[in-house]
């Protein structure tokens, strides 16, 4: 007992001597001996974001944090115009202070990244095999070691309630920052045997204490030369066992850090992969962490069952009709408990509204016959399933040579024009205080109002003339006129809609057609249920899926996702989930010598 205490005291004393000797390497803000240039694509379009509102309780602390960063030479005030201005992101630290970061969402898009090699967990394990003495050091304020040149600094301008500032050092959030930092930190200690650099974590390892001390001295001299500053409080000095990149390295081999896998288990209940990864990064990091968490969640039944909806896919517009009323959309609007059939033309955007006696197919057909008397019989009807996907409705359509196009259940966006028209009708009723006697005139005014992107009204598109309303108009205004280039105008309007819609859309990584006959997950209500993918339906992006009862359903691709092998083996209790995580925790990686013995 006395011997162990004496060893600890000697080690402590040795660490204090070491800290004193290299005090300048642990003091102040580090800076590499060169400036970095952020390269952006030549066709990049500058973006200027207005300052975000900051909660009143944080304003004083933010002002103080900005002042401290300015005094340290991390940021500087900006009084001249700049082409790029990003938003500011602030986060409260446990001690109550604020972390100031850049939110360069629009700047990151054109940044040219440096494809620097990042060592993997296997690389690190191989490099540290057979080592017995270790020291681990953390580079203080890692990214701030990288000084930016003038042009790059201006790119990193941000807005705040107290004016604009620009980062003089590399800010957190820049997409190229991790790879640039890895390149710089690796070059600082390049060529030193037994030294591994993983971003801001540096480990010195050797077979003997003498060799270790020699390497550590070389590292500290290099740190002085390259302006590197280490964090005193995070140093693991001259240990026989250390934690590094989510693993424990010792003379006996390599094992997973129990705390790392405990983090996996504790955050597993979040049930969303992205949030799980973000939550993990707040407290730990190790090589291939994203992959490990993804694999962990893929074996977790509840995580798969209750994961979020898939993001929307890029907009797929309907074909542009060349004739008025050739293609129409149908939907039913409930206004104060009263059902109305809403019919809209894809070419003219002309809306017909008919009060229904009931929501039956017979009632719908009676209304359609009246509409067809004046506007003619359409070639195609786009609609949802109830009550339109009935035998009576199909027989009516067949008799009049009409193609019925049914959207996938739960995906009303496929009949977006009819959905939008229902919204318009409800707003008209609301404006007239739900007075049915005044509704006809409200609808007339809508039909006579120009569509913004086309510059023509539904009346002009369908009847080739402006309709007379109570607003005075000349005879020449009411005369028929043939609209020109309508097809081109509709195409341009669709492109504009798609451009705005696709800003938040995500293209599917894998074509579902390649998974026909395989198991997939299908969104049912708020959960994902395993089913068999039968094949594509006639409607674009729609597929037939089959449940265990043999019943086939049609679903849009947004409600179908890939099935990961093993996820049906869902943990039925917390103890099973814990057992699953223990399989990760108990992994051990033998050294080369131990491997030979086995």
Query: What confidence tens digit (pLDDT) does each residue in 377-435 have?
Result: 999 998 887 788 888 999 999 999 999 888 766 656 667 788 899 999 999 999 989 88
Say how far apart CA 53 and CA 131 lie, in whole Å. Answer: 52
The answer to whether 410 and 432 are in contact (CB under 8 A) is: no
Domain borders along the chain are: 17-250, 327-493, 518-562
Say how far apart CA 434 and CA 427 lie, in whole Å. Answer: 10
Spell out the SS3 assignment of 130-165: CCCEEEEEEECCHHHHCEECHHHHHHCEEEECCEEE
For 214, the 3-state DSSP assignment is helix
Q: Which residues pair with 138 in a beta bridge?
A: 201
Query: Could you tell me the maximum CA-CA distance found in the chain, to the nearest angstrom?
Result: 111
Q: Which of 20-34, 98-112, 118-132, 292-306 has the highest mean pLDDT?
A: 20-34
Sign of CA dihedral 25, 28, 34, 36: positive
Is 235 or 548 the better-scoring residue by pLDDT?
Answer: 235
Say how far apart CA 308 and CA 315 lie, in whole Å. Answer: 20
382 Cβ partners below 8 Å, 6+ apart? 318, 327, 328, 329, 330, 346, 405, 407, 414, 415, 417, 418
pLDDT tens digits, residue range 246-270?
Answer: 889 998 889 887 776 555 555 444 4
Query: At what angle are helices 258-267 and 273-281 packed, to 10 degrees?
Result: 140
Asked if pLDDT for residue 8 goes beyond 90, the answer is: no
pLDDT tens digits, residue range 132-190?
Answer: 999 999 999 999 999 999 999 999 999 999 999 999 999 988 989 999 999 999 999 99
Taking residues 95-113, what's their average pLDDT? 87
Q: State which CATH number among 2.60.15.10, 3.40.50.2300, 2.60.40.420, 3.30.420.10 fits the domain covering 327-493.
A: 3.30.420.10
Least confident of 109-113, 151-155, 460-464, 498-502: 498-502
pTM over 0.85: no
Asked if pLDDT for residue 577 goes beyond 50, the answer is: no
Q: Domain 17-250 falls in which CATH fold?
A: HIV Type 1 Reverse Transcriptase; Chain A, domain 1 (3.10.10)
Say how far apart CA 23 and CA 20 lie, in whole Å. Answer: 5
Q: Domain 518-562 falls in which CATH fold?
A: SH3 type barrels. (2.30.30)
């Amino acid at each position: 007992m006395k011997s162990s205490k004496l060893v600890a005291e000697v080690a402590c004393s040795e660490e204090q001597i070491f800290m004193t000797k290299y005090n300048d390497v642990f003091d102040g803000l580090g800076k590499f001996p060169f400036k970095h240039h952020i390269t952006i694509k030549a066709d990049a379009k500058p973006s200027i974001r207005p300052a975000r509102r900051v909660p009143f309780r944080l304003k004083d602390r933010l002002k103080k944090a900005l002042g401290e960063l300015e005094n340290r030479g991390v940021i500087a005030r900006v009084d001249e115009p700049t082409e790029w201005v990003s938003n500011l992101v602030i986060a409260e630290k446990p001690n109550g202070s604020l972390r100031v970061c850049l939110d360069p969402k629009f700047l990151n898009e054109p940044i040219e990244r440096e494809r620097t090699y990042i060592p993997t967990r296997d690389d690190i394990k191989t490099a540290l095999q057979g080592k017995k003495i270790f020291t681990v050091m953390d580079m203080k304020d890692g990214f701030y070691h990288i000084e930016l040149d003038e042009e790059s600094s201006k790119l990193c301008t941000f807005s705040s309630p107290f004016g604009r500032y620009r980062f003089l050092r590399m800010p957190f959030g820049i997409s190229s920052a991790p790879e640039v930092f890895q390149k710089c930190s690796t070059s600082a200690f390049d060529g030193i045997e037994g030294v591994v650099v993983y971003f801001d974590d540096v480990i010195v390892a050797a077979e003997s204490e003498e060799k270790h001390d020699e390497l550590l001295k070389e590292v500290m001299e290099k740190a002085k030369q390259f302006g590197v500053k280490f964090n005193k409080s995070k140093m693991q000095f001259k240990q026989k066992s250390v934690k590094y990149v989510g693993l424990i390295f010792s003379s006996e081999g390599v094992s997973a850090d129990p705390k790392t896998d405990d983090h996996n288990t504790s955050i597993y209940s979040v049930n969303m992969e992205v949030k799980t990864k973000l939550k993990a990064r707040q407290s730990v990091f190790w090589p291939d962490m994203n992959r490990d968490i993804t694999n962990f969640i893929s074996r977790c039944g509840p995580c798969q069952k209750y994961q979020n909806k898939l993001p929307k896919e890029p907009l797929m517009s309907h074909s542009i009709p060349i004739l008025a009323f050739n293609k129409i959309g149908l939907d039913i609007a409930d206004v104060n408990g009263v059902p109305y059939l809403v019919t809209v033309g894809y070419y003219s955007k002309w809306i017909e509204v008919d009060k229904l006696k009931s929501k039956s197919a017979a009632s719908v057909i009676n209304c359609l016959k009246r509409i067809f008397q004046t506007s003619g019989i359409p070639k195609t009807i786009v609609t949802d399933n109830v009550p339109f996907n009935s035998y009576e409705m199909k027989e009516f359509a067949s008799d009049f040579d009409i193609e019925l196009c049914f959207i996938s259940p739960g995906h009303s966006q496929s009949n977006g024009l009819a959905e939008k028209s229902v919204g318009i009708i409800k707003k008209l009723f609301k404006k007239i205080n739900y007075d049915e006697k005044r509704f006809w005139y409200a609808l007339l005014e809508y039909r006579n109002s120009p569509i913004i992107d086309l510059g023509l009204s539904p009346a002009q598109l369908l009847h080739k003339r402006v309709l007379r309303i109570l607003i005075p108009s000349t005879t020449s205004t009411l005369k028929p006129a043939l609209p020109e280039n309508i097809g081109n105008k509709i195409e341009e309007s669709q492109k504009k809609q798609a451009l705005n819609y696709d800003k938040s859309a995500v293209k599917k990584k894998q074509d579902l057609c390649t998974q026909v006959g395989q198991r997939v997950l299908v969104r049912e209500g708020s959960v994902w249920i395993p089913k068999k993918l039968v094949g594509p339906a006639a409607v674009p992006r729609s597929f037939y899926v089959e449940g265990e009862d043999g019943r086939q359903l049609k679903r849009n691709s947004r409600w179908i996702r890939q099935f990961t092998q093993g996820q049906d083996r869902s943990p039925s209790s917390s103890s099973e989930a814990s057992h699953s995580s223990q399989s990760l925790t108990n992994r051990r990686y033998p050294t080369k010598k131990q491997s030979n013995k086995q």
